[in-house]
Amino acid sequence: MKLRNLIMLTVRSMARIRWKLFLICSVCICSFFLIDQMASNSFRFIYHKIELSRMLKYGKENTLQIKFNYIEETDGFINSVNQLMQYIDKVDGIYAGGSYDESSEYFGELKNNPKYQNINRKAYANTFRMETLGLSEVIYVNHGMEQLCKLKTIVGDTDFKKYKEENIRPVLVGYGLRDILKAGTIITSQSNGQKYQVVGILEKDQKWFGDVDAVGTGVVSLNYKIIAARSQNEIDKSDNRVMSTLCTLSTSFLLLESNSETENIKNLIITKAKQLGLSVSIVPMEEVIKDYEESYRENMNTAFLITFVFVLFSSIAISSSAVVSILMRKREIGILYANGCSRRDIAWKIILENAYIIFLSVGIAFSIRTYLILKDKFKAFSGLIRQIHIQLTLPFMVLITLLIIIIASVPPVMIMSKMKPVELIGGNE
């Protein structure tokens, strides 16, 4: 029998068992939904771990995170932190030490610029920022900390240490702002009057670490952001110096020069911190990423186990349904034999029926997951999960679907092949 005729015959058979199809699909949809969710989260973890390592310009060994073991919201604590960061700048072997902090800023030259507002209308679409289109998203970094991530430019360079003038500080602008903020453009902060000059324009889709936690949150696109230099003294003298300093504690790093004595540098900083009444840990990013991996390893093992259980459960459910269907439709199968269908044709009909149920269930489950992912635009790692869901989870779900079709089809096909034509024609009697 031709494949086209087999497909039409399968569709008609499925139409006759709508309620049974609904019940089986309901069970399978729940299973595939959970498989999709676990696969996306597992892929997100693996991708994010690789992404973190690739983004570090100085590598995992020469990039160290400064971790403050306890925090106080007091002037004394803030004074000690700022003194420690100023001390770090003077330690030999350190290219740069400091922090980054994402904030919002009005620049006099941009706030009421219609072209700039039109660009932000696209960048801020469907967010609360649509009410403040003249506002700029700025990542403030200590001089040298712009080298924390690998950044490529289409114009200029990314080295802020070349620009020592305090009156005009360097900034890098995202690709989406290239037509408004050209190299050499000077902009002025409305909050403190500080002037900034564009020294480089980034290539498209450059990335930076998350604002709250470089490891535990997703990376951000720099297409519509500005990276601006600031000094530790500026943080210390800001209007809300306590909050400004506290916001930098989880994003403080050291970038070591090649051939630096890492242990000696760590001991110098820890000793100085103790003298200032602070308790800090200096941890290479290799260990930070390894700790991140360990924290998710157990969850991943559990996810793989549950995925295996759901795959097995779905296969058994569909296979059992197919076996029962054969036993209840022996007369129908016998009539197909009598009309010239071969055992191979009947086997393909069983496989197509299983494929129909599974693909329908996967399609519905994947669609529901896609809707929920697109709906949660502001959830942690939402951008990464949207990307992974199409690029990695979809092919994975297709492979799982094919695997379940094969597993679920083997028992009913074997049972059918052992039945004699006379037994089939005899029907259910």
If you write DSSP's letter for every residue of 247-286 in order, what string do you get?
TTGGGEEEEEPTT--HHHHHHHHHHHHHHTT--EEEEEHH
- Burial of 286 by CB count in 10 Å (0-12 exposed, 13-18 middle, 19+ buried)? middle
The SS3 of residue 64 is strand
The Cα 268–Cα 386 span in angstroms is 44
Residue 274 structure tokens? 């103790």
DSSP state of 175: G
Question: Is the whole model's pTM more than 0.75, yes or no?
Answer: yes
Residue 143 near residue 96 (C-beta atoms within 8 A): yes
- 382: helix, strand or coil: helix
pLDDT of the chain along its 429 residues, tens only? 566 666 666 666 666 666 677 778 888 888 889 888 888 888 888 888 888 889 999 999 999 999 999 898 888 999 999 999 989 988 999 999 999 999 999 999 999 999 999 998 888 877 777 888 889 999 999 989 999 999 999 999 898 888 877 789 999 999 999 999 999 999 999 988 889 999 999 999 999 998 878 887 888 899 999 999 988 888 887 778 888 888 888 899 999 998 888 899 999 999 999 999 999 999 999 999 888 888 777 777 777 787 788 778 878 888 887 787 777 777 777 777 777 777 787 788 888 888 888 898 999 999 999 998 888 766 667 778 888 888 899 999 999 889 888 888 888 888 877 777 666 665 554
* The total number of residues written for the chain in this structure: 429
Q: Alpha-carbon distance 389 to 37, whole Å?
A: 9
Asked whether the CA dihedral 418, 424, 427, 429 is positive or negative, the reply is negative
Q: What is the DSSP string of 185-254?
A: -EEEBTTT--EEEEEEEEPTT-EE--SS-TTTS--EE-TTEEEEEE-HHHHHTSTTHHHHHHTTGGGEEE
59 conformational bin, left if phi > 0, alpha if psi -120 to 50, beta if neither: left
Q: How many C-beta atoms lie closer than 10 Å to residue 118's C-beta?
A: 12
Rounded-to-integer distance, Cα 227 and Cα 146, Å: 8
Give Cα 117 distance to the centre of its chain. Answer: 28
399 burial via Cβ count (<10 Å: 0-12, 13-18, 19+)? exposed
